[in-house]
């Protein structure tokens, strides 16, 4: 059975999936990466383009002799997943784009990426980690999964934060959506503050073989807020 590769987002890490994949792991191998500059790879040199992240993940999988896999990308990881498909489509079987979009800097974002970069320098990496992590959850820093998420985010260095923001600012995958041939699940929490509905709808309507799953009363971290529904949606999709 083909493994499921998971790519986390900005200031995330492989550990964010802890406790959220038990049902899936009963059925198939799961490979969760830590991107350079984040999680357990916080000591690696950060990358500042989505394409470079995609190349890194593809190389990492090649070294493990994993050449045929299902792929899930969360948030910034969803951008990386789209780039992986563009660069090496034959290696990806089914695709899950989770709480993500086709452009890096969203119109109407709560603040520009440049302002986010300046604020991250002023506040420092740990305060930035706690602030960003709180936005993932419907109940903010009072959510059950917040402390775990914030602890992972706090591993990110100032350089990684700046590089990640630069990577998103310079990326668009809009022109490539129609060329994605994989069966694709677009998965979203209806209270997501990071990626609004119009970004999700564009993925769903532009990717030819896509289907949509909207989970109510969840924000940007459906896997932590409702792990059973999250997993059952993925399990059902991968059986198609």
Strand pairing partners for 214? 188
Residue 223's pLDDT is 98
CB 104 within 8 A of CB 79: yes
Whether the per-residue pLDDT at 18 is higher than 70: the answer is yes
Residue 170's pLDDT is 84
Residue with tokens 């999680």: 39
Whether the per-residue pLDDT at 146 is higher than 80: the answer is yes
**Residues of the chain above pLDDT 70, percent:** 99
Whether the per-residue pLDDT at 180 is higher than 70: the answer is yes
CB 8 within 8 A of CB 33: yes
| pTM flag (> 0.95) | yes
CATH code (residue 146): 3.40.50.1820
Residue 110's pLDDT is 64
Distance, in Å, from the CA atom of 215 to the CA atom of 196, rounded to the nearest integer, reads 14
Domain with 169, as residue range(s), is 4-238
Q: How many domains does the chain have?
A: 1
């Amino acid at each position: 059975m083909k493994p499921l590769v998971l790519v986390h987002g900005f200031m995330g890490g492989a550990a964010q999936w802890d406790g959220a994949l038990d049902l899936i792991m009963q059925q198939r191998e799961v490979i969760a990466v830590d991107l350079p500059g984040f999680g357990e790879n916080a000591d690696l040199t950060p990358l500042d383009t989505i394409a470079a992240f995609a190349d890194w993940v593809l190389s990492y999988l090649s070294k493990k002799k994993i050449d045929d896999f299902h792929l899930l990308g969360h948030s910034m990881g969803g951008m990386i997943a789209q780039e992986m498909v563009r660069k090496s489509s034959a290696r990806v079987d089914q695709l899950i784009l989770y709480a993500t979009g086709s452009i890096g800097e969203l119109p109407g974002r709560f603040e520009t990426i440049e302002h986010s970069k300046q604020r991250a320098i002023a506040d420092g990496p740990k305060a930035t980690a706690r602030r960003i992590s709180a936005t993932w959850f419907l109940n903010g820093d009072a959510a059950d999964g917040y402390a775990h998420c914030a602890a992972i985010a706090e591993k990110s260095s100032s350089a990684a934060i700046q590089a990640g923001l630069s990577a998103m600012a310079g990326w668009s995958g809009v022109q490539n959506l129609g060329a994605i041939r994989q069966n694709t699940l677009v998965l979203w929490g209806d209270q997501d503050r990071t990626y609004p509905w119009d970004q999700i709808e564009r993925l769903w309507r532009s990717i030819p073989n896509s289907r949509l799953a909207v989970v109510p009363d969840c924000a940007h971290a459906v896997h932590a807020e409702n792990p059973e529904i999250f997993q059952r949606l993925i399990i059902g999709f991968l059986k198609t």
